[in-house]
Amino acid sequence: MISLNSMKHLVLHLTLLFIGCLYSAAQSPAREIEKLKLVLKEKSQLDAQKQKRIDFLKASLTHKELDLNDEYVVCLKLYNEYKSFRYDKAFYYAHQLQRISNELKDPAKIAYAKLKLGFILLSSGMFKETFDSLSTLKLKHLPDSVKREYYLLSARTYYDLADFDQDDYYTRIYKTKASLYVDSALKLCDNHSFDYAYYSGLKLIKAGDLKQAIPKLKSLIYSKRLSEHEYAITASTLSDIYIQYHQPDRAIKLLINASIADIKSSTKEAAAMLNLAQLLNKKTHIEDAYLLIKAAMDDAVYYGARQRKVQVSAILPVIASAKILHEQEQKQMLFFYCALLTVLSITIIVFAIIIYKQLKRIKAADKLVLQANARLRNTIEKLNEAEKIKEEYIGYYLHIISDYLNKLEKIKSSITQRLTTKKFGEIKVLVGNINLKKEREELFSNFDKAFLKLFPNFVTEFNTLFPVEYQVRLLPHQLLNTDLRIFALIRLGVNDPDKLARILEYSLNTIYNYRTRIKNKSIHPDKFEIAIMAIKAI
């Protein structure tokens, strides 16, 4: 018997299990992927909003009252709109910034314009050109904001170069240089700024200290003070850690959110969707992976940077071939299931036919059984009826025979007595007093009584077989008349015309005439005698 405590523990265990299942369902990436798909459908609308802002800025450049400083500000805004949206346009406005800053002869603006050009060159994978652009900068008299951006761009360049080379010797050198640039940049950053938190975490990641990097990046994500673009960068970076820790589900969730942020900010130069497609492909979410890699390719083509197109192009055939293979497998499975369904259908049809035939046989057998039962009941009823008739008429005829034997004994005794005394005249009188007609009428009367005792409804049912004008009308003293008596005998089984004639003391022709005349007057002459035999005894 289960104790109360055991029952409580069982209920608690089941509750926790149920909550765990709900939590797992809530954490499932499928729901997050559906959110990403919904945002993907809004992509063109979001891009149109960004283009509207760009068009407004371009229109402001046509104002005649703009001086070089104002033009510099507008071109910088256009560069910032384009830097992750369209490579060629960003490249153009980076050169415009250089032109204007040179015309202004402002060293800070000239350096800042070169940094912007270096950033866009790095985004396209042009490392040599990036270094060439950065090498012309002289930091000595530049403001801290420009120095900080220079250090961060240099750090990113060396980190990207290390990831691109993947060489044990040079990668270590590039990471060391990048780390030094990050240290220089962090000294010029506000401790509460995005750059300080993000690059502190990035430095730890590149140094291999992933455990220390996770809380820094998580706190940055949960700070809720990031722009869409900053959030996407942070989430993508954190996802790399979980990929290295072989926790793809966490990485997928972060990359989904990063991809959503990239779409909302109209960022075309991003790796989140590319990495997400690769992870989903590994987890055999082929359809979703193919959808996202196509979207990533569309972004790479639209942005126009060679490096990003090369990266996506390297992955797209792999996922596309996986999709084709997946579709082939689905077709094979569909063919298999169709074949299986066909076999099952044929099997069901065969069994249905067999069952139908069996049911038909069973119904036929049931029908035969019912018919046999009906015949058996009819036979039993007839036997019971015959038994009653036999019992009744045996008693009746024993009584009649007994009466006649008594009468014969009296006549014999009287005749013997008179023969002894030789009173022959009295014998003649005695014989003359025997009334055969009366005896026959009494015989028929006794027969009628015995018959109607067994078949009290015979006269009524007999009349139902005739139209009203031909129905039998008995006299008050009559029980049966000749017509009824003939068919009463037939109902008792005396069907031989010769026997009927002898019993009723009619000629054979008279019996035939009676039977024929009566049948012809009935409603159904051909079934008349069958109906007579169907009249039930009590």
Can you give the three-state secondary structure of 106-131, one letter per residue? CHHHHHHHHHHHHHHHHHCCCHHHHH
Quick one: which of 327, 266, 335, 320 has its CA closest to 89? Answer: 266
At residue 259, the pLDDT reads 93
CA distance 122 to 480: 132
- Cα separation, 469 vs 521, in Å, equals 10
Secondary structure class of 493 (helix, strand, coil): coil
Q: What is the pLDDT of residue 16?
A: 47
CA angle 248, 253, 258 (to 5 degrees): 120
What are the φ and ψ backbone dihedral angles of 78, each rounded to 5 degrees? Answer: -65, -40
- For residue 334, the number of C-alpha atoms closer than 13 Å in the C-beta half-sphere is 6
Burial 424-438 (b: 16+ CB within 10 A, else e): eeebeeeeeeeeeee
User: What pLDDT is attached to residue 98?
Assistant: 94
Helical axes 194-206 vs 210-221, angle rounded to 10°: 160
* Distance (Å, whole) CA 265 – CA 326: 33
Give the Cα separation of 168 and 364 in Å (integer): 90
For 465, residues 6+ apart whose C-beta sits below 8 A from its C-beta are 522, 523, 524, 528, 531, 532
Q: What are phi and psi of 190, to 5 degrees?
A: -70, 135
User: Where do the H-state alpha helices sit in 225-305?
Assistant: 228-244, 248-264, 272-282, 286-303
Angular region, 246: left φ>0, alpha ψ -120 to 50, beta rest = left
Please give the torsion angle defined by the CA atoms of residues 248, 253, 254 and 258, in that order, rounded to the nearest 10 degrees.
130
- Cβ-based neighbour number of residue 537 at 10 Å: 20
Amino acid in position 192: H
The tens place of each residue's pLDDT in the chain, 538 residues long, gives: 445 455 545 444 444 444 444 444 444 578 889 999 999 999 999 999 999 999 999 999 888 778 999 999 999 999 999 999 999 999 999 999 999 999 999 999 999 999 999 999 988 888 899 998 888 888 888 899 999 999 999 999 999 889 888 888 999 999 999 999 999 999 999 988 999 999 999 999 999 899 999 999 999 888 878 899 999 999 999 999 999 999 999 999 999 999 999 999 999 888 898 899 889 888 888 888 888 888 888 888 888 877 777 777 777 787 777 667 766 777 778 888 888 888 888 999 998 899 988 888 888 888 888 887 877 777 777 666 666 666 566 556 656 666 666 677 777 777 777 777 776 677 776 666 666 677 777 888 888 888 888 899 999 999 999 999 999 998 888 889 988 989 999 988 888 889 888 888 888 999 899 899 999 999 999 999 899 998 888 7
Q: Write down the pLDDT at residue 261.
A: 93
Round to whole Å and give the CA distance between 484 and 460.
11
Q: What is the largest CA-CA distance in the chain?
A: 192
Q: How much is the pLDDT for 390?
A: 61
Alpha-helical segments (H) within 136-266: 144-165, 168-187, 194-206, 210-221, 228-244, 248-264
Total Cβ atoms within 10 A of residue 119? 22
Separation between Cα atoms, residue 493 and residue 470, nearest integer Å? 25
Which pLDDT score is estimated for 400? 65
Q: What pLDDT does residue 185 have?
A: 93
Angle, helix 436-454 to helix 306-421, in steps of 10 degrees: 160
Q: Specify the DSSP class assigned to residue 142.
A: S
Distance CA 84, CA 236 (A): 15
- Report d(CA 130, CA 153) in Å as an integer: 9
